[in-house]
A and B are shown apart, each in its own frame.
Chain A
């Protein structure tokens, strides 16, 4: 295990909540507000970790297992995705499947924890979550299949660094299409506009937020941190495909990737400020669109 991949992993663990701050600052800028401090997410986590907890009388151990399993999954996922042109800590053929399925475990337990409260609102959020993720998964894996065919390998740590170095000249359209699909997956999986609105506080309109309505204290801190880390992991996957900056200097590559991540956070802020949430019935079309983009990217590679 090269030391660089460990540094990248620690970087992910430390910097992930910052992305939330950047997104919120961008949104505040568009709204003409000062907005919350850049490090607000860190303050929230600190505060939540020092609180007690209130558990529903309906809930069982499954409810308490939800945040713990979810955070464990996403931490491991962070060790699988390479960052800034270097290899990840965990790299093996088809690690991308494990990545997708780790998010599957996280989602399964979040959904079960939501259903464990017996609340109709949380059931609603859980139901929407499983619907959208069932469509997001094919888009993600098909998109990565196209990248796999482009680079001739199917380990993330080989695929992403290979993208700009030895990829054939006509790979541009493929990368653009896959990046489009991954952007949709990124927004859906992280409960962002145009699919879900992390800022509204009306139970009927939310997906992710409503599922974790009953969590508090350290449990909620785990969930909040897990969500930030998930944003980072899927973001670095998207950044690795869309903007493969490879200078050859490891430190420079890492700095460039960090810059790309911050730009991605600004982009999310811009998207959230400039468009409204889609009607829920329209979201599947967006996802099917992402599947089609991935499929199209693959077709371009068939010769």
Chain B
């Protein structure tokens, strides 16, 4: 418990010290990084200890807040979420220490580090708190700290807009959580999560359903389920890259954590919960990757991929709850294990990719993919680690993304071959969805890596790109190594996952191990095949080099069909690469094209530009809030700004009250 408390206290202390050193930006950065690092190490140890010993720890202190109690506990589920939070928190802090140097104005540095460490501490508190009031305090602190981080570069209008959208979205989500906790607290007579769980066991189905819906919207807004994802593609690109990595890698997972924690308090799951999660996951996954395909800005694209990966996680949870509700423990355990592992994996590769995008932004000054190209030669380390991250997020073996998706597939095929038709039908969209998402994600990351790092530089920005400093390179290398290691150590990790899965499915550790045992043999085979793949690749590369030794190996220009004057601008761009797919799915994407065509015998300049579109933002929320604002404008008529009129309102109100009390 001491370690958990220290992982809370160290970032807070570091943050406060950073704020004290507001006039010395270099020292605030040091204090901030040190606090986050110390907290990260403590939290990591605490998380691993609980996960591998399986022994939960808890602490209850008196707290004079009505309905509240300072009740924190680390059980395997909390411990599992602690690991990515603290790991990424520490690594991003190291990166940020270099990244922020010479960016923005110096006065922003100290508050920036204060908020970063506050965000880290509040995320830790979210996953360990066991009281609704404490949870909400941590939740709101998290939202506000991240809001201030999103608006770090508040001089830019689009950053202020992104911050505003985020603030509204996160508070709408919190409103649903307040309602959820009110419902559960009313029923349990206390705001302690343990009391919720006891009351949930006897809750009528209608109330459970209502609470489930509230949790789905409230936590879904944070996690980024479509259609409540609109804040995400705005806020993540606006924040500094190390903050984007932290928000995208782990902050949105607190939504998943909250959903799991609270669903555990609602009694036995109804069959339709699984269905509902599968559908939400499918929609988020497919639309997330499609919206990503249409983007030109690398950070915006990565933000949409977070929506996609949350979708994959949710599909895994759907398989898990469907298995639980229909009495297939093996399928349930596999679905949950896949979803949880994907939480960790997404933190690793999305953190890596955002840090890589930050290095590109830092080294070239632009995040517009169509202005980049050929960066692999200029930024070899960033490029190589970004390639690993790209392959991992596409779920390609032998990297970590494949393992977690494989577990979800395994659960889904288990469901598909099980006798009841209803289970099979629930699992079929998971298989089709994962396959489609996998293919589209591969297309998307082939585009990102190919256009940004390969080929010829398209503009001066890319031609003058430079590699990131050592302090930025090392966190990327560590994350890339973690992606590879997680992929190769999957069978071991499965044993570590078992206690966390046990919290979700219930049952004895032996039962969980038995249920997960179905995955043990395939995972060993996967590691074998992955190793063979690595060996075979090396062998073939050696063979090729042996064959070529002693023969002429020449360098020449790329074959261009005999065209005499090729330029770098003739290369396929991000937009043209994705065009067949964005056209094919045009009915949901509705990308807007602006073009001036060529005409006449001697055509002058022509231009073509595509503008990505978020269906829900532009076709639903903007019109909705526009109408609401118009409706509210009507009330503004009573507000003229004349004091006399307001005095008249007061007098009239008093008169009315007087008449009411007399009559």
- Chain B residues near A291 (CB, 8 Å)? 432
Q: In the complex, A295 Cα to B424 Cα: how many Å?
A: 12
Check if A133 sits within 8 Å of B572, measured CB to CB. no
Check if A93 sits within 8 Å of B438, measured CB to CB. no
B192 at the interface (CB under 8 A from A): no
- Chain B residues near A154 (CB, 8 Å)? 413-414, 416-417
Contacts from A to B (Cβ < 8 Å): 49-60, 62, 64-65, 67-69, 71-73, 75-76, 80, 90, 92-95, 97-98, 100-102, 104-105, 107-108, 111-112, 115-124, 126-128, 130-131, 133-138, 140-142, 145, 148-149, 152-154, 203, 213-214, 217-219, 222, 280, 284, 291, 295, 298, 301-303
Check if B557 sits within 8 Å of A56, measured CB to CB. yes
Closest approach, in angstroms, between the C-beta of A174 and any C-beta of chain B? 14
Closest approach, in angstroms, between the C-beta of B532 and any C-beta of chain A? 6
Check if A149 sits within 8 Å of B416, measured CB to CB. yes
Check if A130 sits within 8 Å of B443, measured CB to CB. yes
Q: In the complex, A128 Cα to B583 Cα: how many Å?
A: 12
- Chain B residues near A203 (CB, 8 Å)? 561
Q: In the complex, A101 Cα to B455 Cα: how many Å?
A: 26
Q: Which residue of chain B has the shortest Cβ distance to A61 in the bound complex?
A: B376
Within 8 A of A (CB), among B436-454: 436, 438-440, 442-443, 445-447, 449-451, 454
A-B residue pair count with CB separations less than 8 angstroms = 252
- Chain B residues near A50 (CB, 8 Å)? 547
Q: In the complex, A80 Cα to B533 Cα: how many Å?
A: 13
Q: Which of B137-145, B273-281, B507-515, B517-525 contacts A (4 or more CB under 8 A)?
A: B517-525
Q: In the complex, A233 Cα to B537 Cα: how many Å?
A: 19
Q: Given that A94-B522, A98-B397 are contacting pairs, would A112 and B377 also be in contact in the complex, using a CB cutoff of 8 Å?
A: no
Check if B374 sits within 8 Å of A118, measured CB to CB. yes
Q: Which residue of chain B has the shortest Cβ distance to A121 in the bound complex?
A: B561
- Chain A residues near B581 (CB, 8 Å)? 130-131, 134
Closest approach, in angstroms, between the C-beta of A70 and any C-beta of chain B? 9
Residue in A76, A121, A145 whose beta carbon sits within 8 Å of that of B532 in the complex: A76
B456 at the interface (CB under 8 A from A): yes
Q: Given that A54-B554, A115-B446 are contacting pairs, would A142 and B431 also be in contact in the complex, using a CB cutoff of 8 Å?
A: yes
In the A-B complex, the 4 residue pairs with the closest CB atoms: A123-B572, A134-B439, A115-B450, A118-B455
- Chain B residues near A111 (CB, 8 Å)? 446, 450
- Chain B residues near A124 (CB, 8 Å)? 572
Check if A137 sits within 8 Å of B547, measured CB to CB. no
Q: Given that A94-B522, A149-B417 are contacting pairs, would A112 and B446 also be in contact in the complex, using a CB cutoff of 8 Å?
A: yes
Check if B526 sits within 8 Å of A98, measured CB to CB. yes
Q: Given that A58-B456, A131-B581, A148-B413 are contacting pairs, would A123 and B436 also be in contact in the complex, using a CB cutoff of 8 Å?
A: no
Check if B406 sits within 8 Å of A120, measured CB to CB. no
B584 at the interface (CB under 8 A from A): yes
Check if A76 sits within 8 Å of B529, measured CB to CB. yes
Residue in B421, B521, B555, B570 whose beta carbon sits within 8 Å of that of A54 in the complex: B555
- Chain A residues near B576 (CB, 8 Å)? 123, 127
A–B complex contacts, Cβ < 8 Å, 10 sampled? A80-B529, A94-B409, A112-B387, A118-B558, A119-B571, A120-B570, A124-B572, A131-B584, A135-B439, A213-B559
Residue in A116, A145, A213 whose beta carbon sits within 8 Å of that of B431 in the complex: A145
Q: In the complex, A266 Cα to B445 Cα: how many Å?
A: 37
B56 at the interface (CB under 8 A from A): no
Residue in A59, A138, A153 whose beta carbon sits within 8 Å of that of B436 in the complex: A138
Q: In the complex, A123 Cα to B575 Cα: how many Å?
A: 12
Closest approach, in angstroms, between the C-beta of B657 and any C-beta of chain A? 67
Closest approach, in angstroms, between the C-beta of B405 and any C-beta of chain A? 8
- Chain B residues near A131 (CB, 8 Å)? 443, 580-581, 584
Q: In the complex, A214 Cα to B532 Cα: how many Å?
A: 28
Q: Which residue of chain A has the shortest Cβ distance to B441 in the bound complex?
A: A134
Residue in A49, A58, A95, A128 whose beta carbon sits within 8 Å of that of B374 in the complex: A58
Q: 0/1 per residue, B546-564, Cβ < 8 Å to A? A: 0110011111111111000
Check if A68 sits within 8 Å of B537, measured CB to CB. yes
Q: In the complex, A163 Cα to B544 Cα: how many Å?
A: 41
- Chain A residues near B551 (CB, 8 Å)? 51-53, 217
Check if B454 sits within 8 Å of A115, measured CB to CB. yes
Closest approach, in angstroms, between the C-beta of A280 and any C-beta of chain B? 8
Check if B391 sits within 8 Å of A108, measured CB to CB. yes
Q: Which residue of chain A has the shortest Cβ distance to B391 in the bound complex?
A: A108
Check if A108 sits within 8 Å of B394, measured CB to CB. yes
Residue in B397, B536, B558, B571 whose beta carbon sits within 8 Å of that of A214 in the complex: B558
Q: In the complex, A59 Cα to B554 Cα: how many Å?
A: 13
B10 at the interface (CB under 8 A from A): no
Within 8 A of A (CB), among B572-593: 572, 576-581, 584
- Chain B residues near A138 (CB, 8 Å)? 432, 435-436, 439
Chain A: interface secondary structure? Answer: helix
Check if A104 sits within 8 Å of B394, measured CB to CB. yes
Q: In the complex, A130 Cα to B541 Cα: how many Å?
A: 25
Q: In the complex, A31 Cα to B402 Cα: how many Å?
A: 46
- Chain A residues near B532 (CB, 8 Å)? 76
B55 at the interface (CB under 8 A from A): no
Q: In the complex, A124 Cα to B414 Cα: how many Å?
A: 39
Check if B537 sits within 8 Å of A72, measured CB to CB. yes
Check if A133 sits within 8 Å of B439, measured CB to CB. yes
- Chain A residues near B445 (CB, 8 Å)? 108
Q: 0/1 per residue, B87-107, Cβ < 8 Å to A? A: 000000000000000000000
Closest approach, in angstroms, between the C-beta of A75 and any C-beta of chain B? 6
- Chain A residues near B373 (CB, 8 Å)? 118
Check if B417 sits within 8 Å of A218, measured CB to CB. no
Check if A127 sits within 8 Å of B558, measured CB to CB. no
- Most chain B CB inside 10 Å of its own CB: which residue of A101, A133, A142, A152: A101
- Chain B residues near A140 (CB, 8 Å)? 435
Q: In the complex, A154 Cα to B572 Cα: how many Å?
A: 40
Q: Given that A119-B560, A140-B435, A302-B425 are contacting pairs, would A95 and B571 also be in contact in the complex, using a CB cutoff of 8 Å?
A: no
Check if B417 sits within 8 Å of A153, measured CB to CB. yes
Closest approach, in angstroms, between the C-beta of A135 and any C-beta of chain B? 7
B396 at the interface (CB under 8 A from A): yes
B324 at the interface (CB under 8 A from A): no
Closest approach, in angstroms, between the C-beta of B454 and any C-beta of chain A? 4
Check if B450 sits within 8 Å of A116, measured CB to CB. yes
Residue in A94, A222, A301, A303 whose beta carbon sits within 8 Å of that of B406 in the complex: A94
Check if B397 sits within 8 Å of A68, measured CB to CB. no
- Chain A residues near B440 (CB, 8 Å)? 134
- Chain A residues near B533 (CB, 8 Å)? 72-73, 76, 102, 105
Closest approach, in angstroms, between the C-beta of A265 and any C-beta of chain B? 26
Closest approach, in angstroms, between the C-beta of B436 and any C-beta of chain A? 5
Q: Given that A134-B439, A218-B547 are contacting pairs, would A142 and B579 also be in contact in the complex, using a CB cutoff of 8 Å?
A: no
Q: Given that A75-B536, A95-B525, A119-B559 are contacting pairs, would A284 and B584 also be in contact in the complex, using a CB cutoff of 8 Å?
A: yes
Check if B548 sits within 8 Å of A130, measured CB to CB. no
Q: In the complex, A244 Cα to B509 Cα: how many Å?
A: 43
Closest approach, in angstroms, between the C-beta of A278 and any C-beta of chain B? 14
Check if A134 sits within 8 Å of B421, measured CB to CB. no
